[in-house]
Amino acid sequence: MQCTPTAIPDVVVFQPRVFGDSRGYFLETFRKDIFEAHAGKVEFVQDNESKSHYGVLRGLHYQKPPFTQGKLVRVISGSVLDVAVDIRKGSPTFGKHVTQVLDSEKKNMMWVPRGFAHGFVVLSGQAVFSYKCDNYYAPDHDAGVRWNDPALGIDWTVGQHDVELSEKDAGQPLLDEIEPLELDKGGTR
C-alpha cells in the first residue's frame, strides 16, 4: 500500500495495491500495521456509508470534544472530491484545506484525523461513500463549517447551481464563527 502525506501532513492518502484478473479484483482496504505506521494509533469503532447523486455536497462536518472523530474515507462506487479543513486550535495550518479525488477505479482512501472538518461533493452520476470512524457519532456534539465560506477558498469543481445541500449544511457557520477544536493529549490521532 502506498501512503502519501498531503500538503497538511496529518492528512494521508492511501493507495492500495489492487490484484485483478479475469475473475475480478482483490485489495486490502485496511491494514492496521501499515495504517498506524503512517497515521498513528487508531481503533475504529463505527463504519458508515452513504449513497448520493451528482452535485450532492455533504459537509463540512466535525464533532466537538470529547467526541471528535478521525475518519478513513473511500468511495465504493463512483467519484467524489473529498475535502479536509484544519480546525485545530493553534495549528499552523488552521483554516487550510486539502482536497483529493477519491474514486472507485483508483480505490484510493484518505485519512482525515481528529481536528478536521470533512466534506465531499459527488462528481459522478452517483457515488457510494464509505468511512471508518475512530469514535462514535454523538448528535449533541455534531457541528460544521459552511461549505462555501470565502475564507476557506475551496474549489469544489462543480458549479454552485449544481450543488445540492441539506438544510443543515446550508446553514452551517463560517470558520470565524466556530470555536477551534482543542484536542486532548491524544493528539490528532
> Which residues are the active-site residues?
61, 131
What is the Cα–Cα distance from 82 to 67, expressed in whole angstroms?
Answer: 22
Strands 24-26 and 126-133: unpaired
Omega within 30 of 0 (cis) for the link into 5 = no
Omega within 30 of 0 (cis) for the link into 174 = no
Residue 171 CB-density burial (10 A; 0-12 exposed, 13-18 middle, 19+ buried): exposed
Contacts of 133 (CB under 8 A, 6+ apart): 44, 45, 46, 47, 48, 69, 70, 71
177: number of Cβ within 10 Å: 10
What is the Cα–Cα distance from 163 to 93, expressed in whole angstroms?
Answer: 27
